[in-house]
């Protein structure tokens, strides 16, 4: 960083220059510089609004806008020199503008404060970032739907308590994550609606003395509404909390997927093979293939939770209106968005390349007493109360485990030792295929229901 004049743009009432430790402690430029396109966008709109209010002449407005556009080009092309003494991106741009066009650059801040300026920049930034993230979510959903379509006939054990429970279609399992991601998508869209409110014109806290048309500013910047209370406008960071909350829930879902990918790719399960290009090896053990991507996504979940908690804690004790504590909103927000975007993007690519092992899944789906519930429901259809049928089948399963036999190895006569209601037709229900076919209600794992859901999802995601 270079070194401009040490005089601050706000230093009029001060007799001492800022201590170098204070400058280092308070500077936000290293992380808030990413807001530059939004700061310039807001300043151009502000300049046009001031022209409409006859605070600027048309010529003054044109000169300021040309200067701002030159600064944007300089930053885009890496030619802009940032100075730590400027504290933040707002001051950095204003200082450069004054260098380019002279004292006229100092008029740009008329009728606004850094308080409403940064509130605007942050909203513009999030409005830009969320649609990009939802596109990545859609990409991951499409990868999951593709895998579900590709492996529609494959049966696997469904689990509760990480114990084999009932057979389900692998496609049904994949589509469960599509549903989770759809809720994430909707939460982010809902947050986008609520943050679509323009705060500029609120000044430092009380509003502005100039007859600015705030609705014009909002229109120029693409906002659908303007804030109703200046105190709230400069101190509100609910949208940051809401976005980080939605990101945290999204990471919960990715972490659950991570856990299953890690388990399923282990030698104990062997349900799937992760792509080599998304795994790493061991520096000591040549045979290892480590699911590092899945493990890192699982680990980064805690990081995003921390971003949310840090923001909530920062906000909880702030009196109205603006406080410098609010500078601490940006790093958690930027980190949360960066982390989640990277995690969703990499999973979108990983899931396209996932290899399923049908034989291992099929073998697992035919062992472990997965059809016990089918037997209990069979007895219910024969008139046995469910609690009684549950006890009968529980005893039957226990005996099979002690004898190291599976349910489908029993004869009709052996079944009848436990209940006379068992008939020859009991053997027809003792296959995973028949068990799945009976789950034909909406939301069930029957092939026709999964196929119906697949068709609907493919059409919607294509749009």
Question: What pLDDT, on the 0 to 100 scale, is given for residue 3?
Answer: 47
* Co-location of 234 and 349 in the same domain: yes
Residue 390 sits in a domain whose CATH number is: 1.10.40.30
Question: What pLDDT, on the 0 to 100 scale, is given for residue 24?
Answer: 81
Query: Exposed (0-12), middle (13-18) or buried (19+): which is 317, by Cβ within 10 Å?
Result: exposed
* Last residue in a domain, options 41, 76, 110: 110
* Co-location of 134 and 92 in the same domain: no
Distance CA 418, CA 376 (A): 12
* Co-location of 253 and 303 in the same domain: yes
Identify which of 89, 77, 87, 71 has the alpha carbon closest to the alpha carbon of residue 34.
Answer: 89
pLDDT grade for 9, boundaries at 50, 70 and 90: low
Threshold 0.75, pTM exceeds: yes
pLDDT tens string 151-172? 999 999 999 999 999 999 999 9
* Co-location of 337 and 263 in the same domain: yes
Identify which of 57, 64, 50, 49 has the alpha carbon closest to the alpha carbon of residue 103.
Answer: 64
| Residue 185 located in a structural domain | yes
Domains contained in the chain, number: 3
Distance CA 57, CA 47 (A): 10
Q: Which residue has the tokens 């073998």?
A: 363
pLDDT at 2 over 50: no
Q: Token pair for residue 77? A: 């092309």
- Contact criterion met (CB below 8 Å) for 425 and 102: no
CB atoms within 10 A of CB 276: 10
pLDDT tens string 286-332? 888 999 999 999 999 999 999 999 999 999 999 999 999 999 999 99
161, 224, 245, 277: which is the annotated catalytic residue? 161
Q: Token pair for residue 217? A: 């500013």
* Last residue in a domain, options 306, 338, 363: 363
CA distances from 208 to 29, 119, 418 (A): 26, 15, 84
* Co-location of 315 and 432 in the same domain: no
- Contact criterion met (CB below 8 Å) for 327 and 121: no
| Residue 296 located in a structural domain | yes
* Co-location of 359 and 388 in the same domain: no
6, 266, 282, 434: which is the annotated catalytic residue? 282
What is the chain's length?
463
Question: What pLDDT, on the 0 to 100 scale, is given for residue 1?
Answer: 43
Residues 6+ apart with CB under 8 A from 179: none
Q: Kindly give the interhelix angle for 114-150 and 238-264, rounded to the nearest 10 degrees.
A: 30
* Segment (H or E) for 355: strand 355-356
Residue 92 sits in a domain whose CATH number is: 1.10.275.10
pLDDT at 398 over 50: yes
pLDDT tens string 327-386? 999 999 999 999 999 999 999 999 999 999 999 999 999 887 899 999 999 999 999 999
pLDDT tens string 188-203? 999 999 999 999 999 9
| Residue 417 located in a structural domain | yes
Residues 6+ apart with CB under 8 A from 56: 47, 50, 64, 107
Q: Token pair for residue 312? A: 């909530």
HSE-up of 266 (CA within 13 Å, CB side)? 10
| Residue 338 located in a structural domain | yes
Average pLDDT, the chain: 95
| Residue 24 located in a structural domain | yes
Question: What pLDDT, on the 0 to 100 scale, is given for residue 367?
Answer: 81
The domain containing residue 121 runs over which residues? 115-363
* Co-location of 41 and 176 in the same domain: no
**pLDDT, average across residues 60-86:** 96
Percent of the chain with pLDDT strictly greater than 70: 97
Q: Token pair for residue 45? A: 């709109």
* Last residue in a domain, options 310, 340, 363: 363
Dihedral through CA 254, CA 259, CA 260, CA 262, nearest 10? 120
421 assigned to active site: no
Distance CA 36, CA 265 (A): 44
282 assigned to active site: yes
* Co-location of 359 and 449 in the same domain: no
**pLDDT, average across residues 384-400:** 95
Residues 6+ apart with CB under 8 A from 307: 244, 247, 248, 332, 333, 335, 336, 339
| Residue 3 located in a structural domain | no
């Amino acid at each position: 960083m270079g070194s401009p004049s040490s005089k601050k743009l706000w230093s009029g009432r001060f007799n001492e220059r800022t201590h170098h430790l204070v400058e280092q402690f308070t500077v936000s430029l290293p992380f808030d510089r990413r807001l530059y396109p939004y700061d310039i966008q807001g300043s151009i709109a502000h300049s046009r609004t001031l022209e409409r209010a006859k605070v600027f002449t048309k010529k003054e407005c044109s000169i300021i806008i040309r200067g701002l556009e030159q600064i944007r080009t300089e930053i885009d092309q890496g030619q802009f020199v940032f100075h730590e003494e400027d504290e933040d991106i707002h001051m950095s741009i204003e200082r450069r503008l004054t260098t380019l066009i002279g004292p006229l650059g100092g008029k740009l801040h008329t009728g606004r404060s850094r308080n409403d300026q940064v509130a605007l920049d942050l909203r513009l930034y999030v409005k830009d970032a969320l649609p990009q993230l939802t596109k990545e979510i859609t990409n991951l959903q499409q990868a999951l739907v593709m895998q579900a379509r590709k492996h529609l006939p494959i049966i696997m054990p469904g689990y509760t308590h990480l114990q084999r429970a009932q057979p389900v279609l692998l496609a049904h399992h994949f589509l469960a994550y599509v549903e989770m991601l759809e809720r994430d998508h909707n939460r982010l869209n809902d947050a986008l609606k609520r943050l679509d409110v323009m705060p500029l014109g609120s000044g430092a806290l009380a509003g502005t003395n100039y007859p600015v048309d705030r609705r014009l500013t909002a229109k120029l910047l693409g906002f659908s509404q303007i804030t109703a209370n200046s105190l709230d406008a400069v101190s509100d960071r609910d949208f940051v909390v809401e976005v980080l909350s939605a990101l945290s829930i999204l990471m919960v879902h990715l972490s659950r997927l991570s856990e299953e990918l890690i388990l399923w790719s282990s030698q104990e399960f062997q349900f799937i093979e992760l792509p080599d290009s998304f795994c790493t090896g061991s520096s000591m053990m040549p045979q290892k293939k480590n699911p590092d991507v899945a493990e890192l996504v699982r680990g980064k979940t805690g990081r995003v939770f921390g971003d949310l908690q840090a923001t909530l804690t920062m906000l909880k004790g702030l009196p109205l209106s603006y406080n410098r504590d609010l500078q601490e909103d940006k790093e958690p927000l930027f980190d949360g968005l960066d982390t989640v975007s990277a995690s969703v993007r990499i999973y979108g690519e990983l899931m396209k390349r996932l290899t399923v092992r049908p034989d291992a899944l099929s073998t697992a789906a035919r062992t472990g007493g997965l059809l016990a519930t089918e037997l209990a429901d069979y007895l219910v259809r024969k008139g046995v109360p469910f609690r009684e049928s549950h006890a009968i089948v529980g005893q039957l399963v226990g005996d099979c485990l002690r004898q190291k036999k599976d349910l489908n190895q029993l004869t009709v006569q052996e079944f009848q030792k436990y209940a006379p209601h068992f008939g020859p037709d009991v053997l027809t229900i003792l296959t995973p295929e028949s068990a799945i076919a009976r789950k034909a209600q909406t939301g069930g794992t029957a092939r026709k229901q999964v196929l119906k859901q697949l068709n609907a999802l493919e059409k919607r995601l294509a749009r």
